[in-house]
Structure 1
Amino acid sequence: MQRLRRQQRVLYAALFFSMMIGLLLIRLGHIQLFRSSRLAAEAVRQRAQAVILNYNRGDVLDRSGISLLGGKEEKVLVVFPALMAKGDAEAVEIVSHFIPQAAMPGTPFIALRGVEPHEEELFKNLVIPGLVVTEARRRYGADALATHVTGHTGASDGEGKVGLELVFNRELKGASPTMLAAVIDGKKNLIGGLGYRLWESREQHQPYDLVLTIDYNIQQKVEEIMDSRVARGAVVVMDPHNGDILAMASRPNYLQARLPLYLSGGEEYKDYLSAQPFINRSILSYPPGSVFKIVVAAAALDTGKAWLSQKYYCPGFIQVGDKTFSCQHGPHGEVTLAQAFAHSCNSVFIELALSLGKETIYRYATAMGLGMETGLPLGSAAQGGEVKGMVPLPEEILFLGDLALAAIGQGRVEATPLQVARLTAVAANGGYLVEPRLVKALQSRQGLQVKRFPPGTRKKILSPVTVSKLRYMMLGVVEYGTGQAAFSRVLLLGGKTGTAQTSRFLNGKPRTYSWFTGCVPLEESRAVITVFVEEPLQGNAAETFKHLAQAIYPFLI
C-alpha cells in the first residue's frame, strides 16, 4: 500500500514538472516569435545615445490649408560628444573652437541647423566620429505668421506652452518623437552593423492639424504694415457677419525658433525683452478712450434720448460735481450729435451719459460684448490668454464723476482690441453681436476633417435704424472729424478714433494709447479692423487703419 502511494507521488511530481517545463517552453516560444524584435530593440536602446530631431506635432493651418508655422525640412549637424573624443585630436580641436559644447562630456545635441551642401561636405571630410549630418523638420520658420496666436512649444519637451499650442496640445501632439541614435559599446565605440539609427514611432496614434479662420494673405499684409508703423500695439481683423478672425497680430513680435536665444539672458536682448514681446496685446485690456463713445451713442439713439440733428453746445469743458472735464479739441461751440461724435466732443458725451444713467450705459456696454471674455481658445488669463476687460457695475459708480469718466472710456473702463472689434461688428452687420471664431476644424494629416467648429451665435441687440445712424456718424469721423487720416480715395471707410491717457511715461512724456476701429467698406462691410497703438513707429492709428484697409480689401472680394 505504501509502495503504491510512493508511486503516485512520483507520478504527480513528474506531471507537475512536465507541466511547468511545458509552460516555460510555451513562454519562451511566445517571446521568440512575438517579442524578440521588441526586446532586442530595447536592448539596443539601453546601449544608445539619442537626440530628438522632431516631435512630430500636427501643423497649424490658415483657412485655405497654408501653414502659419513656416516649418520646413532642413539638414542639421548632430554632435555626439562621447564619440568625438575618439577622433583625431587636431580635427576635434578645430570643431571645438566653433562648437565649444562639443568638447564637453554630455548628451548629444543639434549644433547647427540649415546646413548648406558645402558645409555638409566639409563635415564629412573631417572624418570625426560623433559628427552626423541628417535631415530634421524645423517646426517654426523665420516666415511664421500669427505667432502670438499659434503660441510655441517648449524646446526641451515639445509640449505646448502658450496659445493654440497649449490649448490644443493633446490634439497636436504626436505619438513619440523621431530620434537619431548612436548605438555604442561599453568603451564608447560605435557597434559595428548598428552605428547610427533613426528611431521613428510605429504607434497608430497620429497628430491632428489645426485649421484656423485666419487668412494667410490678410495676416501677412497686416504684419507687414505693423512692422513699419507700430512698435507696440495690436490689430484684429474680423468678419462682422460670422465672427471669423481673419487676422490677429501683436507687436513687438517674436520668432518661435529664436525663443532659446531670447531667454538665454544675453545683454543684446535686454531692451527687447523689456517691451514684453511674448504677450498677445490683442487680448489684453486697455482704456478704450473715445472708442467707448460708440456705446454711449448707440444707447442714446436706441432709447430715443437723442437724435442725429439734436443740438448741443460745447464750451470746451463740462463741470461734473467738483471735477472739470475738458475737450481735447474744443471748444466746439454749437454742434449736432453727429458732429459731436465726429469731433469726439467729451462734454457732449458726458452730458449724454449723465442723462442716460449708469444702468443704461452698463446695459448697452455689456450687450455689445464689453466686460466679458469672447471665448476664443487661447487659454486663460493666467496662461497668457484672453482677459475679460472691465465695465464697472452700476453700484460701483458712486459719483457722477465716475460716470463721466466711463462715458469717455477712462477710469475703470477697459477693453481688449478683440472686444472693440466685436463691438464694431455690431455697427457693420446690422445690429448683431457675433461670437468670434478662431478655429474652424481639426483634420487628419491626410486632410480628412475629424471635428468641425461651426460659427457661433448671433444675437440681435440694436435696431437697423440705430445701426444706420451709427454708420452715418462713423463716416463723419473720417470725412471731417478726428479720423481724417483714415480717409481713402479708393474705399468708403468709417470708424471711430480713441485716445486714452495713462499714468505711464515714454521718453519723459505721459504715454497715451491711440485707437481706431472701423468698417471695410462702410456699407456692405466685409471686415472690421481694430487698431490699437501703444507706441507708434510712424503715423497714428487712423492712418494705419487706412493702409490696412486698402491692403487687405483685394482679399475680401
Structure 2
Amino acid sequence: MRRARRQARIVLLISIFLLLFGLLLVRLFSLQLLQGWRLARQAAAQRTDTYVYASGRGQILDRHGLSLHAFLQEVRRGEAADHTSSDLAPVYLQNLALVEEVRYSSASLAAHVTGYIRRPVNPLQPSEGISGLERTFNRELWGTPAAVGVIVDAKGRMVPGYGISEWKYEHLRRPYSVVTTIDRKLQAAAEAVGKDAIKKGAFILLDPQNGDILVLASFPRLPVEDLYRGTTGEKLKQMERDQVYLNRALMPYAVGSVFKVIVAAAALEEKLPASRDVFLCDGFYELGDRQISCFAGTSHGKIGLQQALITSCNGYFIDLALGLGKEKVIEMAKRFKLGQATGIPLGGEAAGIIPDAADLLYGGDVANLAIGQGAITATPLQLARVMSILANSGRDVYPRLVSKVIDKNGNTVRNYPVQYGSLVIAPALAQKLREMLVPVVEVGTASPAKSDKYGAAGKSGTAQLAGKDYSRSWFAGMVETGKETWVAVLLLEEHYAGEPTASAVFRRVMEAVLDAR
C-alpha cells in the first residue's frame, strides 16, 4: 500500500514538471516565433535612438551677431529629451559632450520681431516659420537638422560611456542667418522695465541717421517658447484674451496731441503763426454749438505757438488748422509718411489712416484732425519715423530692421542698405521744431519724461476713446545722450486716470536702456 502511494506521488510530480516544462516551451515558442520581430524592434529602440540636437535652422541675430533667442545647453545624463526611434547603428565616439539647441525660452528677446516656428512632428524634418522674421525669411533660415545616434536605456535616457554617432545626409542644406538692427542689450533693458510698466503697448528706439531700429518691443510679450513646445488650452485662451499675438508697434492707434507737431510744421512752413502770435485760450474752443475743451478745461490765456506746444492747447491748434485749411494739414501729414506702411519685413504692419480732405465735411472734423482725434490713426513705428525726419534735418530715412543675411562663415549673402528718402521739410524748419519741442519736455505736458541722464525734445499725447474709461497715452521724441541722438516712441494702449503717463514710463525705460549700453 505504501509503495503504491509513493509511486502515485512520483507520477504526480513528474506530471506537474512536464506541464510546467510544456508551458515554458509554449512561451518560448511565442516569444521566438510569434512576437520575436516586435520585441526585437522594441529592444533595438531601447538601445539606439536618434537625438536631434540642432534644428538645422539659421539664427536671428542682433546687430552685434548675438542670437536673440537660441542658445546651447548640455544634455545631462539621465535627463529625458525629445527624440525619434531609429535603426541607426552607432559609431562609438568616446568622451564627447552632447549639447542641444534651445531655440526659444522665457529669456528670448524681441519675440514679436523674431516670431516663432511650428515644431515639426518628425524632428528630422525642417521646421516652418509661422510669424515674424521666422516666417519672412523662412527660406533663408531653412536647413537640415543635425542628429546623432545615442545609446539609451528602457526609459529613453542616454547611457553614458557608449559614445554617439552623427547622422550623415545625402543632401545637406546649410542655413543662412539673419542679422537684424536690434541691439540685444538695449532690447533686454527695455523689456525688463516694460513687462511691469506697460501692460499693453509698445516701445521703439531708432537711430535717425540710418533708420536702424535698435529696440522694438510689444507688450505683453509673445511667449514663443510656449507656442513652440505646446501649452494648455487654458493658457492659449488667456493668450487670446491678452491679444499677445498683436505686434502693437505696428498697429494703428489714435495719436492724440502728438499730431500737433504736424500742424505746427504746416503752420511754420506757411508762416501762419506770424499772424497768430497771440491767441486767447478760455479753456475751450467754440465751434458752432460745440465746445472743445483743453485738458481739464484749463484756460491758457494769451499764448503763441511755442506756449501752445508746451501746454498742448487744443483751442490754439484747432484755430491754427482751420486757418491753414484741411488740405495743408493733410498734405503735411502725408509728406511725413503717415498713412503708409514703413515696409519693414514683418507681416501685419498697418498703414494707419490719414483721411482725404473730401472726407472732412465739417469744421468739427478738421478740429478733431488738429488734435489727433477722429479718423486719423498711426502706428508707433510711423510716429518714430516722424520724429526721425525732424532729428535728421528734415530728410526721410526708411526704418530698417534687417541689415543683411549671412552664411555660416559670416559672409554676406544679401545686403539691405540704408535707404534715404526725400527732403520732407527744410532743414531750418526741422531745427526750429526740434528747438520748440525741448521746453515741452523741460516744463510742459511731457515733463515727466525729463531726466538728468539725457536731454530730450518731444510731444506727449492723449487720445480719448468713446465709451471707454481709459485712453491712449503717448510720448514721441528725440533723445540726446552726449554720444548719440536717438528717436523714441512709447505707447500705453490702456491708460487709466491716476496711473503714470507714457511720458513717465518713457523715462523709466529710457534710463534703463542708457544704463545697459
TM-score (norm 1): 0.73
Equivalent residue, structure 1, for 2:272: 305
The yes-or-no answer on 1:276 pairing with 2:279 is no
Equivalent residue, structure 2, for 1:154: 118
The alpha carbon displacement at 1:283 in A equals 0.3
Equivalent residue, structure 2, for 1:317: 284
2:478 to 515, 519, 539: 519
1:432 to 395, 401, 404: 395
- Judge conservation of contact 1:434–1:458 (CA < 8 Å) in 2: yes
With over 3 angstroms needed to count, the CA separation of the structure-2 counterparts of 1:200 and 1:237, relative to structure 1, is farther
SS at match of 1:516: strand
Structure 1 Cα separation of the partners of residues 416 and 338 of structure 2:
24
Structure 1 Cα separation of the partners of residues 434 and 269 of structure 2:
14
Matches within 5 A, 1:104-123: none
Equivalent residue, structure 2, for 1:534: 493
SS at match of 1:231: coil
With over 3 angstroms needed to count, the CA separation of the structure-2 counterparts of 1:354 and 1:67, relative to structure 1, is same
With over 3 angstroms needed to count, the CA separation of the structure-2 counterparts of 1:522 and 1:396, relative to structure 1, is farther
Structure 2 Cα separation of the partners of residues 401 and 179 of structure 1:
70
Structure 1 Cα separation of the partners of residues 491 and 230 of structure 2:
25
Structure 2 Cα separation of the partners of residues 465 and 440 of structure 1:
31
Amino acid at match of 1:140: Y
The alpha carbon displacement at 1:280 in A equals 0.6
Structure 2 Cα separation of the partners of residues 181 and 282 of structure 1:
45
With over 3 angstroms needed to count, the CA separation of the structure-2 counterparts of 1:176 and 1:412, relative to structure 1, is same
The alpha carbon displacement at 1:489 in A equals 2.3
The alpha carbon displacement at 1:261 in A equals 6.8
What is the CA deviation profile of residues 19-67 of structure 1, one whole-angstrom value per residue up to 9, with x for unaligned ones?
A: xxxxxxxxxxxxxxxxxxxxxxxxx99xx98675543110011111111
With over 3 angstroms needed to count, the CA separation of the structure-2 counterparts of 1:307 and 1:160, relative to structure 1, is farther
The alpha carbon displacement at 1:160 in A equals 0.3
1:419 to 375, 382, 392: 382
The alpha carbon displacement at 1:421 in A equals 0.4
Amino acid at match of 1:465: A
With over 3 angstroms needed to count, the CA separation of the structure-2 counterparts of 1:433 and 1:200, relative to structure 1, is same
Equivalent residue, structure 1, for 2:212: 244
Structure 2 Cα separation of the partners of residues 77 and 67 of structure 1:
26
The alpha carbon displacement at 1:236 in A equals 0.6
- Judge conservation of contact 1:516–1:530 (CA < 8 Å) in 2: yes
- Judge conservation of contact 2:470–2:495 (CA < 8 Å) in 1: no
What is the CA deviation profile of residues 88-146 of structure 1, one whole-angstrom value per residue up to 9, with x for unaligned ones?
A: xxxxxxxxxxxxxxxxxxx869xxxxxxxxxxxxxxxxxxxxxxx97431111332110
Structure 2 Cα separation of the partners of residues 536 and 404 of structure 1:
23
The yes-or-no answer on 1:355 pairing with 2:323 is yes
Equivalent residue, structure 2, for 1:393: 356
- Judge conservation of contact 2:118–2:228 (CA < 8 Å) in 1: no
Equivalent residue, structure 1, for 2:80: 77
The yes-or-no answer on 1:137 pairing with 2:101 is yes
Structure 1 Cα separation of the partners of residues 116 and 149 of structure 2:
23
Equivalent residue, structure 2, for 1:450: 413
- Judge conservation of contact 1:428–1:522 (CA < 8 Å) in 2: no
Equivalent residue, structure 1, for 2:93: none
- Judge conservation of contact 1:152–1:161 (CA < 8 Å) in 2: yes
Amino acid at match of 2:108: A
State the superposition RMSD in angstroms.
3.0
With over 3 angstroms needed to count, the CA separation of the structure-2 counterparts of 1:64 and 1:525, relative to structure 1, is closer
- Judge conservation of contact 1:504–1:511 (CA < 8 Å) in 2: no
The yes-or-no answer on 1:173 pairing with 2:137 is no
- Judge conservation of contact 1:424–1:518 (CA < 8 Å) in 2: yes
Structure 1 Cα separation of the partners of residues 144 and 417 of structure 2:
28
With over 3 angstroms needed to count, the CA separation of the structure-2 counterparts of 1:62 and 1:485, relative to structure 1, is same
1:295 to 233, 241, 262: 262
What is the CA deviation profile of residues 500-524 of structure 1, one whole-angstrom value per residue up to 9, with x for unaligned ones?
A: 112364xxxx120100011111999
Structure 1 Cα separation of the partners of residues 148 and 466 of structure 2:
52
Q: How many residues align?
A: 442
What is the CA deviation profile of residues 358-415 of structure 1, one whole-angstrom value per residue up to 9, with x for unaligned ones?
A: 1111111011010000010002xxxxx2110000011111112111111111111000
Structure 1 Cα separation of the partners of residues 54 and 73 of structure 2:
10
With over 3 angstroms needed to count, the CA separation of the structure-2 counterparts of 1:554 and 1:240, relative to structure 1, is farther
The alpha carbon displacement at 1:316 in A equals 1.2
- Judge conservation of contact 2:72–2:101 (CA < 8 Å) in 1: yes
Structure 1 Cα separation of the partners of residues 275 and 178 of structure 2:
46
What is the CA deviation profile of residues 473-507 of structure 1, one whole-angstrom value per residue up to 9, with x for unaligned ones?
A: 211211221111111123221110000112364xx
SS at match of 1:413: coil
Structure 2 Cα separation of the partners of residues 218 and 234 of structure 1:
14
1:164 to 133, 139, 150: 133
Matches within 5 A, 1:438-517: 438-503=401-466, 505=468, 510-517=469-476
The alpha carbon displacement at 1:151 in A equals 0.5
SS at match of 1:493: strand
Structure 1 Cα separation of the partners of residues 394 and 379 of structure 2:
20
With over 3 angstroms needed to count, the CA separation of the structure-2 counterparts of 1:312 and 1:525, relative to structure 1, is farther
The alpha carbon displacement at 1:426 in A equals 1.5
With over 3 angstroms needed to count, the CA separation of the structure-2 counterparts of 1:202 and 1:182, relative to structure 1, is farther
Structure 2 Cα separation of the partners of residues 475 and 528 of structure 1:
14
Structure 1 Cα separation of the partners of residues 437 and 149 of structure 2:
60
With over 3 angstroms needed to count, the CA separation of the structure-2 counterparts of 1:74 and 1:460, relative to structure 1, is same
Structure 1 Cα separation of the partners of residues 139 and 82 of structure 2:
31
What is the CA deviation profile of residues 280-301 of structure 1, one whole-angstrom value per residue up to 9, with x for unaligned ones?
A: 1000010000011110011101
The yes-or-no answer on 1:339 pairing with 2:307 is yes
What is the CA deviation profile of residues 73-93 of structure 1, one whole-angstrom value per residue up to 9, with x for unaligned ones?
A: 34262478xxxxxxxxxxxxx
With over 3 angstroms needed to count, the CA separation of the structure-2 counterparts of 1:78 and 1:370, relative to structure 1, is same
Structure 2 Cα separation of the partners of residues 79 and 236 of structure 1:
37
TM-score (norm 2): 0.79
Structure 2 Cα separation of the partners of residues 308 and 216 of structure 1:
49
Structure 1 Cα separation of the partners of residues 98 and 345 of structure 2:
37
The yes-or-no answer on 1:550 pairing with 2:514 is no
Gaps of 5+ in 1: 1-43, 81-106, 110-132, 184-193, 380-384
Equivalent residue, structure 2, for 1:286: 253
Structure 2 Cα separation of the partners of residues 69 and 61 of structure 1:
8
SS at match of 1:306: helix
SS at match of 2:233: coil
